[in-house]
Chain A
Amino acid sequence: MKLLRRVFPHPHLTLLLTVVWVLLANAPSLNSVVFGLILGIVIPFITQPYWPDRPVLRNWPMVVEYIFVVLWDIVLANVTVARIILFKRDADRQPNWVCIPLDLRSPEAITVLAGTITMTPGTVTCDLSAKGHNLLVHCLDAPDPDAVRDDIKNRYERRLKEIFE
């Protein structure tokens, strides 16, 4: 078991790298699977010392749920933002800064949250506070900043907390 741990320090990364390589080759042949596996074993082995304290994903069903929640939100938010851009006069729009206090502490989880906020249209992550306890988010049209904050905390941060912590 210990030997297995040393050869595969990061099994999920091994799997991910293999899948990415096979997708890149775009032909699921034995060739690409074998080379993908070689990369998937060598890269985590070499990069292991540079990524101490990596997080363990605890809740895999939640990862799948999170991905679908985010994809669905992206589609909905795209339509909302398209309507704001096309039909709302620029003077009626209320761009706003929102400060989101974080309960998350793991840097990887905060990175995922910040990326999610940017990729869902209508909100962009702009900065982290000096010690990493708050996120600064810019909203394209937010008459009610508190609602945006609660929405992000309930939809994304709660799920990420279950995944990472």
Chain B
Amino acid sequence: MTEFWEIVIAFFLIVSGIFGFVGSFGMIKLKDPMSRLHAPTKATTLGVGGVLIASILHALALELRPSLHELLITLFLFLTAPVTALFIAKWHIHRHETPDSLPPAGEDGKWATHAVEPEKDIPDHTAT
């Protein structure tokens, strides 16, 4: 029985390893910044998820004690990852997109990042 569980745990570890690798490989291969943003969202879902499932199974089947605080890691990742992704995306829109390069925002006219009045006295770092 121990062997069976070891195989299952190894399977989840390998799955998470593969997706973690593909996520980091995507950071190199994809060329534009917006596409690069997609790579880390993968590493945090199946990549981390696989390790956590393996950890829960290991505690349950081999150490014979329940251990569920891995679920909290998933919970906190699901709370924080979209926020950081949104911040990076908004930075990109702020610096590199104009209202014309994005699809029209329906009846609201503008996207929120462009609807903000630009500050006058910020030094321009893009001019180098």
Interface residue ranges, A against B (CB under 8 Å): 20, 23-26, 28, 74-75, 78, 81-82, 85-86, 90, 93, 95, 97-99, 101, 114-115, 118-122, 124-134, 136, 138, 140
Contacts and interface: CB of A to CB of B under 8 A. Distances in A.
A75 B32 CA distance: 25
Interface residues of B, number: 50
A19 to B, nearest CB: 10
B78 interface: yes
Given A26-B67, A124-B89, A136-B102, A93 B35 contact: yes
B85 A90 contact: no
Contacts of B18: 82
Nearest to B79: A115
Interface string B39-51: 1011011100100
A121 B41 contact: yes
A24 B89 CA distance: 32
A130 B46 contact: no
Nearest to A99: B103
A136 B34 CA distance: 13
B82 A74 contact: no
Q: Which label, helix, strand, loop or mixed, suits the secondary structure of the A interface?
A: mixed
20 contacts: A26-B67, A74-B45, A85-B22, A86-B22, A90-B29, A90-B30, A93-B35, A97-B103, A115-B82, A121-B42, A124-B34, A125-B86, A126-B89, A129-B106, A129-B108, A129-B110, A130-B110, A131-B108, A132-B112, A136-B111
Nearest to B38: A140
Contacts of B113: 127
B31 interface: yes
B110 A26 contact: no
A93 B35 CA distance: 10
A130 B109 contact: yes
B8 interface: no
Contacts of B110: 129-130
Contact of B106 (A99, A120, A121, A140): A99
Nearest to B76: A20
B25 A129 contact: no
Contacts of B35: 93, 95, 140
A105 to B, nearest CB: 13
A37 B102 CA distance: 48
Nearest to B49: A74
Contact of A95 (B32, B41, B44, B105): B32
Contacts of B38: 81, 121-122, 124, 138, 140
Interface in B1-49: 18-19, 22, 25-26, 29-32, 34-35, 37-39, 41-42, 44-46, 49
